[in-house]
A and B are shown apart, each in its own frame.
Chain A
Amino acid sequence: DTEVTQTPKHLVMGMTNKKSLKCEQHMGHRAMYWYKQKAKKPPELMFVYSYEKLSINESVPSRFSPECPNSSLLNLHLHALQPEDSALYLCASSQGAGGAAGANVLTFGAGSRLTVL
């Protein structure tokens, strides 16, 4: 079983809906990430939280709104999405987001597969 849990596994939403993706880890990791992956493409970084603060926003449209309520939880709030936003959304965590290169292996969840109609 994965140590990073994502819910829901599948989500279908209309362009006017508001929904949220949730991610939870209990490994004591202090960095959490959202990645977006289109079919047959590599994952693309969206956001990084380090110690519950947003460290990186990779110029993601404002219709995606991340939230980190505590060190174990990461949410991605979705509003007014477009059909091209349909993708697999992967959450990941690592012990930290800084320090020696490679020391912080990312552990990924199983992903939330989003379809926007």
Chain B
Amino acid sequence: AQKITQTQPGMFVQEKEAVTLDCTYDTSDPSYGLFWYKQPSSGEMIFLIYQGSYDQQNATEGRYSLNFQKARKSANLVISASQLGDSAMYFCAMREVNSGGSNYKLTFGKGTLLTVNP
């Protein structure tokens, strides 16, 4: 079973509008972290936002916010006031604390390609 599911292969949004990118996850570990990365066509993975499993409030970073619904195991990324430069692939990822205590592995979803139209 996939640990991270991104059901939207592609999304379109008009410039200046908000867009939500979906992410659901599957884990039995009570301690985990959720990340969103942006990958433009140049290839670099750019960290956007992080949410810890014990965090009480939804994470926000500038125009990015994470809609964290723990019971539903979802961690959707909301981008407000979209800009043309937001056009990129967006990956949701999860890091679990395994029984050994190391949390080296970041498991990625398949990604959502966002296109911002002028």
- Using a CB–CB cutoff of 8 Å, the interface residues on chain A facing chain B are 2, 31, 33, 41-43, 45, 48, 50, 55-56, 88, 90, 92, 97-111, 113
B residues less than 8 Å from A92 (CB atoms): 45
Report the Cα distance A48→B34, complex, angstroms. 19
Whether A42 contacts B97 by the Cβ 8 Å rule is no
Are B104 and A55 interface neighbours, CB within 8 A? yes
Contact B111 A97 (CB under 8 A): no
Mind listing 14 A-B residue pairs with CB under 8 Å? Answer: A45-B104, A48-B105, A55-B102, A97-B102, A98-B103, A98-B104, A100-B31, A101-B31, A102-B50, A102-B51, A102-B53, A108-B47, A110-B42, A110-B44
Q: How far is the CA of A26 from the CA of B52 in the complex (A)?
A: 26
**CA A104 to CA B50, docked complex, whole Å:** 10
Q: Which of B37, B47, B102, B105 has the most CB of A within 10 A?
A: B102
Q: Mark B96-109, 1 if CB is under 8 A from A, else 0.
A: 11000111111011
Residues of the B chain whose Cβ atoms lie less than 8 Å from the Cβ of A90: 43, 45
Q: Does B35 contact A (CB under 8 A)?
A: yes
CB of B70, distance to nearest CB on chain A (Å): 14
In order of increasing CB-CB distance, the 4 nearest A-B pairs are A102-B33, A42-B108, A108-B45, A111-B43
Within 77-115 of B, Cβ neighbours of A (below 8 Å) are at 91, 95-97, 101-106, 108-111
